[in-house]
Amino acid sequence: MDTPRDHFDEMLEGSDGVREPYRQYQNWFSSENPSRLIKKSKEAEAFFRRTGITFNVYGRLAAQERLIPFDLIPRIIANREWSRLSKGIEQRVRAINMFLHDVYNRQEILRAGVIPTELIARNEAFLPQMMGFSPPGNIYTHIVGTDIVRTGEDDFFVLEDNARTPSGVSYMLENRETMLQMFPELFSQNKVQPVSNYPKNLRRSLAACAPVNGTDKCTVAILTPGIHNSAYFEHSFLADQMGVELVEGHDLKVVDGRVAMRTTQGYTPIDVLYRRIDDDYLDPLNFNPDSMLGVPGIMDVYRAGNITIANAPGTGIADDKAIYSYMPEIVEFYTGEKALLKNVLTHRCSEPDALKYVLENLSELVVKEVHGSGGYGMLVGPAASKKEIAAFAAKLKKNPQNYIAQPTLSLSTVPIFAKKELSPRHVDLRPFVLVSPDGINITPGGLTRVALKEGSLVVNSSQGGGTKDTWVLED
C-alpha cells in the first residue's frame, strides 16, 4: 500500500504496521484474491444502480442523475475512539439546542455579549416568526448531522454542524446492507456495532416529540419537495423504512386547525412532519409567497401547538459558519463545560483584520460562504490557480461578511480499493444524531465520505467524492 505519511493514516502506523482496529480486517484482506474484490465492487455498483441510489446534480443544462461511488474497504473505528467522539458530539448537539431556544426566547447569550447581536439580527437564517415560541419538548434539532474530520490518533475537529435538513443517512444504511450481503464472513470475524435500527429509532424519536394536542396514535409523515430533489431517494427510502407516508405540499392542507394529509378515507391529521424542504418554501403565507412546495398556514398551526415540525423552522442559524466560529464559547455558556470537540480555527472575513489576513494568505486557506453547502461556492487555496485566487479575492472584497476562512487541515486517510490494491484517500465523517425529550441517540459510525481523487480534500458527492461503510467495533 503506497501512502504518503504527511498526515494521520487510520489503517497504518510506523513503516509497515497496522493499527489495532484494522488488524483483523487486514488479515482477511491479505488472503483475498484481488479479482474477487473487483468482481464484488462491480456487484455493489450494479446493486446501487438497480436500487436507484442516485442523486441529482444541479446547475447543469440538463438534470443529471449520478451514482455515488461506493468503496468496499470499510473505515474502522475502535470502540474507545468512538466513545470519546460520541461524548463530544452529544455535548455539542445539546448546546446547539439550548442556543436555539435561547436565541428565539430570552437571548441571554446576546445580553452577555458572547455573540455579537448583529450576527443574529442580520442573519438570513434567523426567523422572527419563531420568536417567543418553544416547540414541543423544547426540541429544535430533531435530526443532526455533524461533519467531523480527523488529523491524529486523538485529534478530531468539527468541520460544520448540519442542523437544518442533514442528508446522507440512507447511504449509511445501504452501504452497510451491501457489505453484509457481499462479505457476511467479515461480520462474523469482526464485532461491528449495527446501524440498521436507525429508521426505528428515528420513528420513535420523532413520535416522542409529538405536540401535547396531538392524536392518541401519533401520525408521522415526511414532506418532500418531490422527485426532482437531489435527496428524493432518501426521502422515499426513509418513509418506507419507517412505515410512514411520504407527502408533498399538494397532499396537505389545514383542516380544523390541524395539518392533514389526503388519504383514500379523506384527510387525516398529522402530528409530526419531518420536513425535507427549506424554511423559505415551508409556508407561502408566512415566507416565500411563490412557494408551491409547502403548506399554506402551517406556521400558524405550528405556533398553536397542533403539529411538530422536524427540524424546527429557524434552526439554520446554528448552521451558519460565522456562528460556528463561536461554538466553543456557545458550548461553555450553556453547559458550563469546555468543548470536548475542537473547532477548526476560523477567520471571520467580516472583521477587517481577519479579511486582511485572508486576502494575504488565500493560497493557503479554504474559504467558504457562511450559508454555503455541498462544496459549492468555496475556494480551496492550495488547489486553486492564480487566476481563480484573484477572482475569489475580488468576491471577498465586495462582500466580506458572506465568507469565513480556515486553514487547510491535514485530513486523515483511509484506504480505498484502487487498481487491485489499497491506496490512501482523505475522508470526513457525518455521524447522525437523534434528539427528543427522551434523550440523545447517536448511531455508531455514520456516513464516511471519501475524496476518490488522489490528494484531493473535497469529499462531497457533488464534487466527485464517494462513500464507504463505517464500522465502530464493539469492545
Over its length of 475 residues, how does the chain's per-residue pLDDT go in tens digits?
444 457 899 999 877 799 999 999 999 999 999 999 999 999 988 888 887 776 555 444 444 566 788 999 999 999 999 999 999 999 999 999 999 999 999 999 999 999 999 999 988 899 999 999 999 999 999 999 999 999 999 999 999 999 999 999 999 999 999 999 999 999 999 999 999 999 999 999 999 999 988 778 899 999 999 998 888 999 999 999 999 999 999 999 999 999 999 999 999 999 999 999 999 999 999 999 999 999 999 999 999 999 999 999 999 999 888 899 999 999 999 999 999 999 999 999 989 999 999 999 999 999 988 876 655 678 888 888 999 999 999 999 999 988 999 998 889 999 999 888 899 999 999 999 999 999 999 999 999 999 988 887 777 766 678 999 999 999 8
Cell numbers 444504511: residue = 173
Beta-bridged to residue 455, according to DSSP, are: none
CB 392, CB 362: distance < 8 Å = yes
Give yes or no for a cis peptide into 79 (omega within 30° of 0).
no
| Helical H segments across 161-315, by residue range | 169-182, 184-189, 198-207, 232-242, 298-303
- Which of 345, 349, 376, 347 is CA-nearest to residue 149? 345
Domains of the chain: 12-211+307-341+409-472 (no CATH), 345-407 (3.30.1490.270)
How far apart CA 428 and CA 466 sit, in angstroms, is 11
Beta-bridged to residue 154, according to DSSP, are: none
Q: pTM of the full predicted structure?
A: 0.92
